[in-house]
Structure 1
Amino acid sequence: MDLKRLLNAKTVRFVAVTVILGAIGSGAWEWILKPLAMGASEFGLNVATLGVSSFKDSLYQDIAKGLHEEPSLRLYSAVFGLLPLFVLGFIAGKAAASRQFRGDVEDLEPEKVARFLSKPLLVVFVIMVAFSVIQANQVAYVNRAVTHFDQLMSIVAPSLPEIDRLSFRSQFAQIASGEDYEKLVSSLEQLCNEKGLRAPSFSVW
């Protein structure tokens, strides 16, 4: 392999541009896209719970269970549960198209069937996508909230006696609302500040 030919000016420029674009992209994510994503996440959570406090509390009760597979399994089950409905809707729509055009389904022109089914199927597809996005957003928030608590516990654990560590874990497992979670992590963040430890930031919804 000829290294001189490989490491020519064009290659060096390409690598330099790639590194610069990567740095710009990282900065854009950290300063622009990440705050927007967090805002969109909170908006999505508000939409998912419809502003009902009991729905919001149920999300924090999921957080109290810690990191586990149930939220992800629930999301997958919902998505794959909706897929058969989508297929059945297509079949039913095709049968309706047959009656609409007074002909055998096999003899229908594909363009006519496509036009007849396009709007209903689009509505069903949009509903499926919206539901999946909302569920995924909830799962992501649960994971972030649990991870934040675990990180705080790992930071303050060496400074706490065993009985206090167990007490914090017990309080976490009993979380029943957003206020419970916020109060608990605030206590841990205060301990970090008192002991001169660096506490990670987290926006509690």
Structure 2
Amino acid sequence: MKSFKTVFGVILLGAIGSGFWELFLRDFLFYLGNIFIKTATFFYSGYVDHLYSEVGNGYSEILIFPCLLIFLLGYAGTLFLFFKLTKNENKSESDYIKKIILKLSIEKAKFLLVSILFIMNIFYADLILNSVSNYQACTGIERRLDIIRPYITEDKYNYLVSEYRLIDNKDKLESILTDINKITTKFKLDVKKVKLLGID
């Protein structure tokens, strides 16, 4: 059993070192992101447009990790209150009526806390997806514009940059990517497809 753990540990470390783990994790998170987007789109058809509404402004880093810290603190605080309420609920109460009232109050408070946690999850997931979507779109377009620039006229390049800066929804994003793909195909440039959340 010990030797099995050792071998497994070596394989795991080798996988992490080779980048396999990072690749797997990235694809898995991408898959989860698309599930969230499909669910959100079911309730709001313009959700994908919302994700790419700021692409034309270029990518600007947002403070994801400070936001994550605030989120985790809020999460921990809410869970603490939840377990505190559970503990109070289990305490013996001599007065039966008071016990019933206390139980009902605690149940309502628990429901409120669970609702707060759910809303926090939704807001933070949207924040992360919005940031990642903008990053992927902006870096993907800018890299491709740099690649095709020597193969097109300055006017054409300026036109594409203008189109890039006008992006504020999914359709405009797909339009410029189509234009760029036509150029890369024409000049047989080996450029990988931009992998974007919510866009096939």
Interval of TM-score (by shorter of Structure 1 and Structure 2): 0.5 to 0.7
Q: What TM-score does the superposition give when structure 1 sets the normalisation length?
A: 0.62
Which of 160, 181, 184 aligns to 1:168? It is 160
Note if contact 1:45-1:138 (Cα within 8 Å) is conserved in structure 2. no
Amino acid corresponding to residue 171 of structure 1 in structure 2: E
C-alpha distance in 1 between matches for 2:155 and 2:173: 20
Rounded Cα–Cα distance in structure 2 between residues aligned with 1:54 and 1:134: 13
Residue identity over aligned pairs, in percent, reads 16
Name the counterpart of 2:15.
22
Shift of 1:136: 0.9
Q: Which has the higher contact order (CA 8 A, sep 6+)?
A: 2
What is the Cα deviation at residue 139 of structure 1?
A: 1.3
Determine which structure has more spread, i.e. the larger CA radius of gyration.
Answer: 1
Residue 133 (structure 2) aligns with: 141
Partner of 1:3: none
Distance 1:141 1:187 in 2: 20
| CA RMSD across the alignment | 4.3
Gaps of 5+ in 1: 1-12, 103-111
Cα drift, residue 140 of structure 1: 0.9
TM-score (normalizing by structure 2): 0.63
CA contact (8 A) 1:44 1:137 kept: no
> Structure 1 68/50 Cα, relative in aligned 2: closer, same or farther at 3 Å?
farther
Q: Which one is further off, 130-139 or 120-129?
A: 120-129
3-state DSSP of counterpart to 1:64: helix
Return the offset for 1:186: 1.6
Cα distance 1:127–1:54, how it changes in 2: closer, same or farther (>3 A)? closer
Q: Secondary structure at the match of 2:156?
A: helix
Q: Matched residue pairs, number?
A: 170
Unaligned runs of 5+ in 2: 1-5, 94-101
User: Is the alpha carbon distance of 1:23 and 1:156 closer, same or farther for their aligned partners in structure 2, counting shifts above 3 Å?
Assistant: same
- 1:61 is paired with a residue whose SS is coil
Query: Cα offset for 1:196?
Result: 2.1
Instruction: Give how far 1:21 is off.
Output: 2.3
